[in-house]
Amino acid sequence: MLIAIPDVLDPAAVTRLRALIDAAEWSDGNATSGPQSALAKRNRQLPEDSAAAREAGSLVLDALGNSPLFVAAALPLRVFPPLFNRYEGGDAFGLHVDNAIRIRRGSDFRIRSDLSATLFLSDADSYDGGELVIDGQFGEQRVKLPAGHMVLYPASSLHRVTPVTRGVRVASFFWIQSMVRDEGARRILFELDQSVQTLGHERGQADAEVIHLTGVYHNLLRRLAEM
Ligand code: NI
């Protein structure tokens, strides 16, 4: 399942974050790649231990914590510290799959990547190309979202970024280990959650069926969540 999460960052937050990372020193994107990805990848990246990456990363993490849609869709257990990349002048990332386990260098932080996330940080009309193309169960999906919007997709999918032929595409990318490992189970929980939210708005939170279904959601989550 591919889920777009709008307005993770508002325009002012995007501007602040861009000012922070645009002024920083960027390096070759292959610093975080495995040998297979390295063949396909041409872009630049903020070194993950740089002060700018850490500061910008914590802004992204704060924003994620404030997004009920992100929390409902990902049911996050651990989030890899957000990284930042930059594509311009024909940069691209060919078809690849993300590593199953991500380890933060120089620490004991490690996660199983259940979900991959891309948070767009450039206006969509300021660059050509740079689409994130995800191979899904129902074919290819092409994603290019406004600045501040994010896409979540199964980390098991093959995906690529098409060449950026004009302008600059800046994004944050990272991985999430979910409390619910199984993608199908996570999707059902998300659909139930969204329906209960809608029903709650229509009937009010004190409605008996809303209370009952909220209980069903939490009891399912209790059975399925691993921590
Ligand atoms: Ni990838």
Quote the distance between the C-alpha of residue 3 and its chain's center: 9
Tens of pLDDT, residue by residue over 81-93, are: 999 999 999 999 9
| One domain, residues 104 and 14 | yes
The Å distance, Cα 182 to ligand 1 centre, comes to 20
The Å distance, Cα 84 to ligand 1 centre, comes to 12
Structural domain including 202 reads 183-224
Tell me which residues of the chain have a pLDDT lower than 70.
32-38
d(CA 89, CA 43): 9
Count up the domains in the chain and report the number.
2
| One domain, residues 78 and 111 | yes
The Å distance, Cα 225 to ligand 1 centre, comes to 26
For residue 212, what are its two tokens? 């009952």
The Å distance, Cα 58 to ligand 1 centre, comes to 21
| One domain, residues 120 and 92 | yes
Residue whose C-alpha is closest to residue 165's, from 99, 227, 113, 91: 91
| One domain, residues 110 and 27 | yes
Q: Which residues sit opposite 227 in a β-bridge?
A: none
| One domain, residues 47 and 20 | yes
- Give the per-residue pLDDT at 1: 85
- Give the per-residue pLDDT at 137: 82
d(CA 66, CA 84): 20
d(CA 27, CA 38): 14
| One domain, residues 138 and 42 | yes
The Å distance, Cα 192 to ligand 1 centre, comes to 29
| One domain, residues 147 and 192 | no
| One domain, residues 88 and 194 | no
Tens of pLDDT, residue by residue over 38-76, are: 678 899 999 988 999 999 999 999 999 999 999 999 999
The Å distance, Cα 222 to ligand 1 centre, comes to 31
